[in-house]
Amino acid sequence: MDKELNKFETKLCSDSAHDAAFASLLKEVHEKKKSGTKRYGETAYNSLGIKGIFVDINRKYQRLKRWFWDSEPGADLGQATESIEDTLLDFAAYCLLMLMEYRRTNRQEMSPPSKKERKTIAIDFDATIAIYTGWKGKGVFGPPVPGVKEALERFHKEGALIIINTTRSEIDEVRKYLQGHHLPFDYINYNPANQEQQLSGAKVLADVYIDDRAIGFGGRWTDEYVERVLSFKPHWKREREAKPHEQQ
């Protein structure tokens, strides 16, 4: 009886140590994720959605396969850019990120439909979200347009899918700007519906497009409308021309 009790106590201690080690590794994965946010598939995610995370998982898998399957464990893989431990931690982080996105998407799919259909709103960035008076350089943004935070919060409260639709290439900087100013959004230059409907075009699907360079089309190509298009100038250009003395 005492022998069996000792075995049971040893197993409990072993399980406890295993759980503690597992919890410690989860914490290490979290810390690594926080310290290397830019590396965790954000750019691929913006262009490919959940498939973007899978791209990174596969990249790490291929590295692990070369290490553990295609060669002897511990073999020299040449100019390694990261350790195997880092690769395994990255692999775990990407898997958790993919699970988070899967659950988020699945909750949206499983949730009961609302009485009114969810709107998708695509919103330009420069001169619509951030004040813009002309190109100042990559990563140079003006302060938020007055009222934009309240408008985005209202869209978010109403359940709209908010897509930032910009020609800017510095997507990470745009994201940091939005997050830094606490401006709610869901995606940048990406809508999961494009993939679901197998649409390969660059234009993101939306119910409404908000842009400082847009002219709403009322269904008829009248002479007046054509003249509006030909003489159109965005608001910031009209304001600049109206106050030339204030320009630097």
Element (H, E) at 163: strand 161-164
What pLDDT, on the 0 to 100 scale, is given for residue 235? 86
Q: How confident is the model at residue 99 (pLDDT cuts 50, 70, 90)?
A: confident
Contacts of 167 (CB under 8 A, 6+ apart): none
Length of the chain: 248
174 in Cβ contact with 166 (< 8 Å)? yes
Better pLDDT: 146 or 31:
146
> Taking the mean position of all CA atoms in its chain, how far away is CA 105?
14
* Domains, the chain, ordered by start: 2-110 (no CATH), 120-246 (3.40.50.1000)
160 in Cβ contact with 120 (< 8 Å)? yes
Lowest mean pLDDT among 15-19, 63-67, 71-75, 177-181: 71-75
Please check the confidence at residue 9 and state whether its pLDDT lies above 60.
Answer: no
Q: What is the mean pLDDT of residues 94-98?
A: 83
- CA atoms of 218 and 230, how far apart (whole Å): 16
What pLDDT, on the 0 to 100 scale, is given for residue 39? 54
What pLDDT, on the 0 to 100 scale, is given for residue 113? 46
Q: What is the mean pLDDT of residues 211-221?
A: 88
- CA atoms of 109 and 13, how far apart (whole Å): 43
Integer-rounded Cα Rg, in Å, for the chain is 26
What pLDDT, on the 0 to 100 scale, is given for residue 15? 64
Given CA atoms 187, 193, 194, 196 in this order, what sign does their dihedral have?
positive
> Taking the mean position of all CA atoms in its chain, how far away is CA 167?
16
What pLDDT, on the 0 to 100 scale, is given for residue 37? 53
Element (H, E) at 12: helix 2-35
What pLDDT, on the 0 to 100 scale, is given for residue 115? 46
Q: What string of H, E and C letters represents the secondary structure of 113-180? A: CCCCCCCEEEECCECCCECCCCCCCCCCCCCECCCHHHHHHHHHHCCCEEEECCCCCCHHHHHHHHHH
pLDDT tens, position by position, 18-49? 778 888 888 888 887 766 654 554 545 555 56
What pLDDT, on the 0 to 100 scale, is given for residue 155? 92
Computed over every residue of the chain, the mean pLDDT equals 78
Q: What is the mean pLDDT of residues 43-63?
A: 71
SS3 of 40, please? coil
